[in-house]
């Protein structure tokens, strides 16, 4: 996992609120594979564009999408790792 200077923000009530608002907005549907997941603990509020420490990107709800865990942990991370080495 890459170093994330904003990691502590994921523990805040504000992030939990934003995460929940994102899941509701996207109707608990993975924006990558289309899976509808009833168990919200298996859904991730994902930054489309990696924030890389940018607070504006971090809190921008238009930059956040609902992904299921397999999509988030699999494809997405490979993409980001590939992007980091371009």
42 near Zn ion, rule: CB under 5 A: no
68 binds Zn ion, rule: CB under 5 A: yes
Stretch that binds Zn ion, among 3-11, 19-27, 46-54, 64-72 (CB under 5 A): 64-72
Question: At a CB cut-off of 8 Å and minimum separation 6, what does 8 contact?
Answer: none
Give CA–CA dist 51/28, Å, rounded: 22
Instruction: Please give the full DSSP string across 11-30, using - where no structure is assigned.
Output: GSHHHHHHHHHHHHHTTTB-
Quote the least distance from Cβ 17 to Zn ion, whole Å: 23
Q: Which range of residues in 12-20, 34-42, 45-53, 57-65 is near Zn ion by CB under 5 A?
A: 34-42
């Amino acid at each position: 996992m890459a170093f994330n200077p904003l990691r502590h923000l994921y523990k805040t009530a504000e992030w939990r609120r934003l995460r929940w608002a994102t899941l509701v907005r996207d109707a608990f549907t993975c924006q990558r594979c289309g899976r509808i997941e009833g168990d919200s603990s298996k859904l991730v509020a994902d930054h489309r564009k990696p924030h890389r420490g940018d607070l504006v990107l971090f809190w921008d709800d238009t930059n956040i999408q609902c992904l299921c865990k397999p999509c988030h942990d699999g494809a997405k991370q490979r993409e980001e790792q590939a992007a980091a080495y371009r």
